[in-house]
Homo-oligomer: A and B are copies of this chain.
Amino acid sequence: MVTSLLADRMKYIKASEIRELLKITERPEVISFAGGLPAPELFPVQALAELSSRLILDDGQKALQYSTTEGYTPLREKIAGRMKKVFQANIAVDEIMITSGSQQALDFIGKVLINPGDEVFMESPSYLGAINAFRAYEPKFVEVETDSFGMIPEALEEELKKARHPKFIYVIPDFQNPTGRTWSLQRRKALVNLASRYGVLVVEDNPYGELRYEGEMLPSVKSLDSEGWVVYLGTFSKTLCPGMRIGWIAAHRNLLNKLLLVKQGADLHTSTISQMQINRYIETEDYDAHIQKLRRVYRMRRDTLTQAMDRYFPGDVYYNHPQGGLFAWVELPAGIDAAKLLEEALNRNVAFVPGAPFFPCTPKKNTLRLNFSNMPENRIEQGIMCLADALVSLQ
């Protein structure tokens, strides 16, 4: 009955394979490298509990009421300040709109920019949630050859030349999802340069940038752009908590005005109270110290993961050593399908996400993503041992 009434775009909108898989991995005995969940034991529960009740008592008539589409100005001011301090980006407060997580910003970018058939350039692989959000607007995805320093500029330029309706280049330059890779400064500069020369936008998605465990912080792509080609997405999901769904988008005013119109129609505004809670947290607590704590804990988990892979994985398995973020990336020998490995792993109560769905066009079936933020070290080590055992059973 209903299916005959669906819009054509629904042909392109698919279930996220990850979110389906996550349901299976909820059993407590499963050691899961599958999700991208932050460690809940690090949420600042005590501080948030206290400030939430004070906030509602002091300011409840405002916190519980409708508010503006662009977001709570004191929070937007703090975001502008932090983007300057941490990522060297000069953003005016009125170039920032609060979104319901950065996933919402991805959807809005698709809605504002993509006509069916327009080219969207992606790292290969790239974030599945971005692929799914954009897909609803029927773009043509162009996978750009990518190495461990980011997109290869010559390859990108080649694709830009060939494109008929190029719209934007979507990148995650810091500790990418799914690969954990970080772009070099040189590649960042080359990207902005190409965007300006070819008149296309860059969408810089930066949910993990604060979570660096070694090496020097690099300037954001946004900070290298003086002409307004770069749209920047940020979020508190990985640095504070994802449950409140507070992210932001920073863009040239012309574009931000369009994004505001789309948000008006999409949900009027983001939760007033959650914006005020996060604003008050930053105002009254030591946010820097909190992030230092996250870095310490996640660094240990990353080290445990890579050391366990060094110790237990067969020599013909490639994996990287991410400088930050939540993920490492594994390439199995060419003949091995990660979906098969997942079956064997689940038999051993270990879960991960196969890499194939992260490729917008041409899946590499011998790849997989490992998350290390959501488990203590002993389970990480045990999980890698089981995964190594599952690997051996396939060879």
- Which residues of A line the B interface, CB within 8 A? 1-10, 13-16, 19, 35, 37-38, 40-41, 43, 45-46, 48-50, 52-54, 56-57, 60-67, 69, 100-101, 103-104, 106-107, 111-115, 118, 129, 132-133, 135-137, 167-168, 199-201, 227-228, 237, 241-245, 252, 254-255, 258, 261-262, 264-274
Q: Which residues of B contact A254 (CB under 8 A)?
A: 1-3
Min Cβ gap A104→B in Å is 4
| Interface contact B15-A104, CB-CB below 8 Å | no
| Interface contact A129-B268, CB-CB below 8 Å | yes
Which one of B19, B35, B118 contacts A264 once the chains associate, using CB atoms below 8 Å?
B19
Q: Which residues of B contact A103 (CB under 8 A)?
A: 265-268
| Interface contact A19-B265, CB-CB below 8 Å | no
Q: Which residues of B contact A200 (CB under 8 A)?
A: 5
| Interface contact B19-A244, CB-CB below 8 Å | no
Which one of B41, B48, B50, B268 contacts A101 once the chains associate, using CB atoms below 8 Å?
B268
| Interface contact B56-A52, CB-CB below 8 Å | yes
20 residue pairs of the A-B complex, CB under 8 angstroms, read: A1-B227, A1-B252, A5-B200, A10-B258, A14-B261, A35-B66, A38-B65, A49-B53, A49-B54, A50-B53, A53-B53, A100-B267, A103-B268, A104-B267, A129-B268, A136-B265, A244-B272, A245-B267, A245-B270, A266-B266
Q: Which residues of B contact A132 (CB under 8 A)?
A: 264-265
| Interface contact A114-B7, CB-CB below 8 Å | yes
Q: Which residues of B contact A112 (CB under 8 A)?
A: 6-7, 10
The residue in A13, A38, A67, A100 that gathers the most chain B C-beta atoms within 10 A of its C-beta is A100
Which one of B8, B104, B111, B168 contacts A115 once the chains associate, using CB atoms below 8 Å?
B8
| Interface contact B37-A60, CB-CB below 8 Å | no
| Interface contact A43-B60, CB-CB below 8 Å | yes
| Interface contact B243-A272, CB-CB below 8 Å | yes
Min Cβ gap A340→B in Å is 26
Min Cβ gap A216→B in Å is 30
CA distance A8 to B167 in the complex (A): 13
